[in-house]
């Protein structure tokens, strides 16, 4: 270590290598222009090791434009170079609806609370498809943004949440399809349809919670990539997508209620068919989602500082 030499060289060596000395002049000019520093300055930013304080919401807010840009990029790029483009957002739930109606509605005679099974299943598939695509995209979002994460700083939480945000466009398109087919089955429009907006938001938060959690784990454990699709497939049976909650015996329903998607899907159907909402069920969904979200955010922010080193 050459500490003597290090301290020997003051900054006034500036520009002396340049024959015309223009740099020296420029730098002095700058010194004149800069305001005199205040007596006690506090740093704009302090970087320290191992100071974990949880998610920084203020910083997230400061980067809200980046959130929109990342979501916008995902939307813009998703259907590039596909022949059918955004119609995929409609085709997926529509084809599922047809198959489910044949299989579960006609053949298996799954009850649909006295409503046309097609609309019943579509109203369930709408939030379910949104949830699965959002969680899948979100869980892969960090590892597919390796180049961003290793090269530039921004709140990492934006990546999995923006991936969920991008899926909102799909559910909006698919919802328009729902409104188009409702009259064919004699399902009228009710003011309760307005509840779809907060319900979608709640579904988005649930997806974000799982996406945040799995995306962080995915950075370290690529097992997630294989485990998640399987887990989602299994989850479908534990979610009232193809059957109503009332399909289960009374004493088991509470178990289904713990799945936040149950309340959301039930709420979707209530909104579509203009039935009174099960506020208790929705409250449970919202509470479970909130719990998941807070937990996921803390897991994430604890793993976050390792991302650039591990990814």
Please give the residue ranges that form the binding site for another protein (CB under 8 A).
1-2, 5-6, 8-9, 11, 13-19, 23, 26-27, 29-31, 33-34, 37, 41, 43-50, 65-66, 69, 73, 76-77, 80-81, 147-154, 220-223, 305, 308-310
78: nearest Cα among 144, 149, 146: 144
Between 65 and 250, whose beta carbon lies closer to another protein? Answer: 65
Burial class from Cβ neighbours inside 10 Å (0-12, 13-18, 19+) for residue 298 reads: middle
127: nearest Cα among 96, 161, 86: 96
What is the nearest approach in angstroms of another protein to the Cβ of residue 171? 23
293: nearest Cα among 198, 142, 161: 161
SS3 of residue 288 by DSSP: helix
Between 41 and 251, whose beta carbon lies closer to another protein? Answer: 41
Between 17 and 250, whose beta carbon lies closer to another protein? Answer: 17
What is the nearest approach in angstroms of another protein to the Cβ of residue 127? 29
Between 264 and 303, whose beta carbon lies closer to another protein? Answer: 303
What is the nearest approach in angstroms of another protein to the Cβ of residue 300? 15
d(CA 285, CA 133): 20
Between 149 and 265, whose beta carbon lies closer to another protein? Answer: 149
What is the nearest approach in angstroms of another protein to the Cβ of residue 162? 11
Burial class from Cβ neighbours inside 10 Å (0-12, 13-18, 19+) for residue 195 reads: middle
Between 29 and 197, whose beta carbon lies closer to another protein? Answer: 29
Produce one character per residue of 66-80: b if its CB has 16 or more CB atoms within 10 Å, e if not. ebeebbeebbeebee
Q: Long-range contacts of range 23-27, CB-CB < 8 Å, 24 or more positions apart?
A: none
SS3 of residue 41 by DSSP: coil
Question: How many Cα neighbours within 13 Å face the side chain of 85?
Answer: 3
What is the nearest approach in angstroms of another protein to the Cβ of residue 27? 5
Token output for 205: 């938060």
Between 45 and 191, whose beta carbon lies closer to another protein? Answer: 45
What is the nearest approach in angstroms of another protein to the Cβ of residue 133? 19
Given the structure tokens 């698919």, which residue do they identify? 174
């Amino acid at each position: 270590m050459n500490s003597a030499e290090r301290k020997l060289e003051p900054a006034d060596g500036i520009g002396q290598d340049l024959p015309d000395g223009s740099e020296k002049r420029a730098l002095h000019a700058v010194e004149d222009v800069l305001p005199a520093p205040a007596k006690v300055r506090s740093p704009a930013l302090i970087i320290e090791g191992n100071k974990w304080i949880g998610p920084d919401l203020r910083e997230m807010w400061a980067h809200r434009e980046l959130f929109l840009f990342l979501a916008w990029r995902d939307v813009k790029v998703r259907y590039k170079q596909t022949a059918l483009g955004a119609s995929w957002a409609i085709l997926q739930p529509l084809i599922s609806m047809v198959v489910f109606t044949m299989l579960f509605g006609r053949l298996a005679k799954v009850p649909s609370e006295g409503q046309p099974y097609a609309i019943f299943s579509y109203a369930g598939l709408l939030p379910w498809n949104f949830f699965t695509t959002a969680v899948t995209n979100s869980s892969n979002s960090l590892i597919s943004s390796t180049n961003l994460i290793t090269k530039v700083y921004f709140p990492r939480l934006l990546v999995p949440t923006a991936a969920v945000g991008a899926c909102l466009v799909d559910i909006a398109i698919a919802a328009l399809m729902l409104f188009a087919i409702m009259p064919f089955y004699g399902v009228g429009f009710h003011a309760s349809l307005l509840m779809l907006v907060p319900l979608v938001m709640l579904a988005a938060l649930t997806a974000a919670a799982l996406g945040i959690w799995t995306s962080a784990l995915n950075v370290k454990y690529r097992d997630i990539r294989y485990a998640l699709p399987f887990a989602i497939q299994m989850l479908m049976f534990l979610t009232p997508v193809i059957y109503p909650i009332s399909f289960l015996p009374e004493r088991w329903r509470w178990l289904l209620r713990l799945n936040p998607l149950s309340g959301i899907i039930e709420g979707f159907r209530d909104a579509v068919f203009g039935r009174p909402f099960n506020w208790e069920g929705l409250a449970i969904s919202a509470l479970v989602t909130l719990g998941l979200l807070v937990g996921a955010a803390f897991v994430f922010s604890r793993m976050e500082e390792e991302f650039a080193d591990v990814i």
